[in-house]
Structure 1
C-alpha cells in the first residue's frame, strides 16, 4: 500500500498539523497531580515530531483523551503535553486565555494552549521553527465527531500541511481531524503510521501458515469486524477473557457473575456456527466469588461454573492446550489478555501464554501484538523486545488485518 510519505514533503518553515495518538493513561500521583503513567504511544509518535523539528517545521499537535461530552478539565491534555515536553527535553509553557503574544526564546519550546483554537490563531501564527504547540482535547469540540465541514475548514486554516499519526484511533469514520482535514491540506502519513502499514500489510497479504490468533479482553463489540475478517484468514483463534466467557454463554453454559457483553451473545452464536473448526475455547477456568475473594479461587470445567462465581482466568489445562497451537504457528497475532491480569491471582494465563508468544516470535514465528491492555500485559511480563511488532492500534490493527478499510488511511489516498 502506497501512502504519501512525510519524507517526501517540504516542511521547512511551514506549519504542520500532526493528528497524534494522545489517548494515554493518566493517573493521579501521591500529591494528587495528574501524570502520564505509560509513555509507549507517545514515544512511538515522537519519531515524527523529532523528524519535523530537524526539518525546521512549526508543529501543531492535536489529539484526544477519553470521551468527554464537553469542555471538561478532567480530560484536559495538559498532563500529556507536559510529558511530551519532558520526553523531548524541552521547556513547557502553558498559554492562558489572557496571553496577547507568544513568548519567543532562542531554543524551541512546547506550548500548551488551554483555549479554543479559533480564538488564538494569531498566537499559533507566531510559532518559530522547531516550536511545538499542543492544542486542548479535540473531543472538547462537539463538531469533531459530527464530520462538520465548517469545523474541518476552521481546523485546516491554522496549518499548511497535515500529518496523520493516529493509527490507534483510525476505526471511526466520523472524526473530522482524521477524515476531513486531508480534503483541505496537503496530507501525509507519519513515520509511525507508515511503519505500521508496512508491517501489517505483510501479515495481511503474506502470512505464513499456520496462522494463530490469541484473543481476549472484554469487548467483542470493539473487535467484531476485525475478528470476523481475521477468522476468514487465520487457522485458529484461541479465546480467553470476557470474549471466551461470552462464547460459553452463547452455548447456554452458566457463567455466573462474570463480566461480558451480554448484548453480543447472538453474535457469538453466529461465530461458533460459521467458524466452529477455527474457534478454540478453554478446557478449564479459574473462578472465584469475586476478584478480591482469594480464598474462593478454584479451577473448574466450563460446564461447572455456579451462579455465584466469576470467570477470571484460563486454567492450567487450557494453558497447555493453547501452548501447542502457539508452538505450531508460523504467524502469531495477539489482541487482549486471557484474564484479569492486573490482579496477580488471575494473571497466570496471560503471563504464561504471553511469554510463550514472545519466545516464539522473532524466529520460529512472526509475532504481532497490539491494543492497550495487551501492551500493558506485555510491559508487565517484560517481553516486548522479543516480539516482532508491537502495534499502537487495537481495534484498528484488527480491522486492518481483516482487510477492512480504515477511514483515515483511505482519506490519505485521495
Structure 2
C-alpha cells in the first residue's frame, strides 16, 4: 500500500511534465490502459494464443529489446507448450519489439502498482518472469513470488552508484533482491554487488554480457550491403558514423567533419540520433551548418547518386543503427559526452570499426574497459581529441584497421553468454519449481 501511495504521489508531481511531453512529442499516450490497469483477460488471452501458460520477458527499451531475439529463439525450443511474450516500457522499444516478434506477442509493461502487476501475471498465467539487465520493481517481483512464478534477471549489471543507492534503502529493497530466483551477471563485480544488495550468493551467476553474443560477426550481410548501396558509398570513401547521439553531440561531430573534410574529401558522415523526437531538430541543425541532409526516412528507394561531401546522412528511423555501423570505417558511440553514461559500443566493435567514445561510459563500464584494455577502442575527452582521433584514422589507415581487428578479437573472446544464461535459467527455475511443488 505504501509503494502504491508513493507511486501515485510521484506521478502527480510529474504530471505537468508528462502532459507536456504527451502534447508536444506524443510520448506516453500509447498503452495507457495496460500501464495503469495491467492486462485484461482478453488482451492476455490474445498474447497466450493457443497456449495455457506464458514465459514473460521484459525489456525496458531499444537496447534491451535487441538482446531478446536470440534468447526467444532458443527459449522457444524448451518452452514446453508455453507462449513467450514480451513487454517494454517505451514507444520505441515497443515498435522494435513488434518488428522482431509481431504485435500479437508484445505489450506495454504495467506500472508497478499492485493491482496492475498482479492482474497481468494472473491473466498471462505466467510461469516465469525474465527481466533484462535490471528492472527492480518491488510490487511486480513480490506479486510473482506470491504466484509461485520464478523471477530471473539476465544480463545483469549494477553500477557502484546504483548499488550504493539500493543499499542505502536496504531495509525496504533487500527483500526484493532476496526474492530473485536467479541473476545472470555480466561480470564478477556485478555479481558481488547483487549479493551485497540482498541476492542469495547461490543465485548470483556470472554469465557474461549478452551484448558480446549479440554483436555482429561480419559486414558481409544483405542488411549492410543494402545500406551501402542506398548511401552511394564506394571503396574510395571513408565513412564516419556517430550513433546514439544526444543533444550537443551532433553539433560537435559536424564541426569536426567540416574541419577534416577540407583536407580529406573522402570523409563522409552519418548521424544517428538516439531519440525520435530529435530527428527534425538534427535535420535543421545539419542545414543550419551549411550542409544538405539526406534523411533515411524520406528516401525509401536506393539513393541514386554518390554521396557528396556536403551531404550528411541522417538515420531518422528506429532499429537500423546496428546495420549502419557496418557501413562505417570509423565509429563514435554517442551518449558518452554528456551525463547519459554511453551506449552499446560492441556493435561497431563487432564489425571491426575503429571505435571511439567519450569520457562518460558508466552504463557500459565493463564493456568499455575490456575494449580499452585490449586495444580495441579509444576514449576521447572532448571535441579536440575526437578530431585528433578521426584524423589519425584517415591518415593512418593500417593503424585504424588494427584497432578494428583488436575490437573484433575482444568481442569473439567473450561470446557464449546465451549458452550460460539459458543453462542458469533452466537449472535454477526448474529446481525452484520442483522444490515449491514438493
| TM tier, smaller | 0.3 to 0.5
TM-score between both structures, scaled by the size of structure 1: 0.35
TM-score between both structures, scaled by the size of structure 2: 0.34
Q: Which has the higher helix share?
A: 2
